A and B are shown apart, each in its own frame.
Chain A
Amino acid sequence: EDQVTQSPEALRLQEGESSSLNCSYTVSGLRGLFWYRQDPGKGPEFLFTLYSAGEEKEKERLKATLTKKESFLHITAPKPEDSATYLCAVQARGDYKLSFGAGTTVTVRA
């Protein structure tokens, strides 16, 4: 069974204080690893897909990286509007569904 573990559960940052979120996964053949952002009362919003170890993707202050066992989401010089829950998910080869972790809730104080 696919497993996704995210840490830490919660992260409180000062504006401008860079940090990283971790996503550890086990999957029987990785098709893709996904990062989503979820604001309170909203559905998840797609950020990135990573397909193979060594791949990196960037969007504004966010950068996602992938190894064979984990993915990191780096937040550089965060702003209060980066406050959200960040969800990691994996898709196994030949499977339809995404398996999500429980998320990391990031709070950025001005």
Chain B
Amino acid sequence: GAGVSQSPRYKVAKRGQDVALRCDPISGHVSLFWYQQALGQGPEFLTYFQNEAQLDKSGLPSDRFFAERPEGSVSTLKIQRTQQEDSAVYLCASSLVTSRNTGELFFGEGSRLTVL
């Protein structure tokens, strides 16, 4: 497809379960970001990849959160032992340029995670 694709769109997990969220960026895009958006708030940065290298993971809230992009294309955000406070929309964004040069970010529609 032409845009950033995220799956699943909706995920309900019981507290303590592990979840994996997938992001398929626009083909050829070097930069990939993960953001977390709580209801009524703006997106909060989680982590940044340039190709397969994770250059910034300062926004990951705890060691239960882990992200990878092994071949520099598809990325997975994994959350272990989910807690209720993890309930949010997880947004993936990609960009053609390396981020320090700025550039337009293309966002996916997000994965809405609800932890019961």
Q: Which residues of A are in contact with B by a Cβ distance under 8 Å?
A: 4, 31-32, 34, 41-46, 49, 87, 89, 91, 94-103
Most buried by A among B43, B44, B102, B107: B43
Decide: A45 and B107 in contact? CB cutoff 8 A: yes
A-B CB pair tally, cutoff 8 Å: 59
B91→A95 contact, CB < 8 A: no
Question: 4 nearest interchain CB pairs?
Answer: A43-B107, A100-B42, A97-B45, A96-B99
B4 partner residues in chain A, CB cutoff 8 A = 43
A43-B109 contact in complex given A49-B102, A49-B104, A96-B99, C-beta closer than 8 Å? yes
Q: Which of B80-116 contact A (CB under 8 A)?
A: 91, 93, 99-100, 102, 104-110
B53 CB, min distance to chain A CBs, angstroms? 12
- Neighbouring B residues of A89 by C-beta, 8 Å: 42
B residues near A97, Cβ cutoff 8 Å? 33, 45, 48, 56, 59, 99
Max chain B CB contacts within 10 Å: which of A4, A42, A49, A98?
Answer: A98
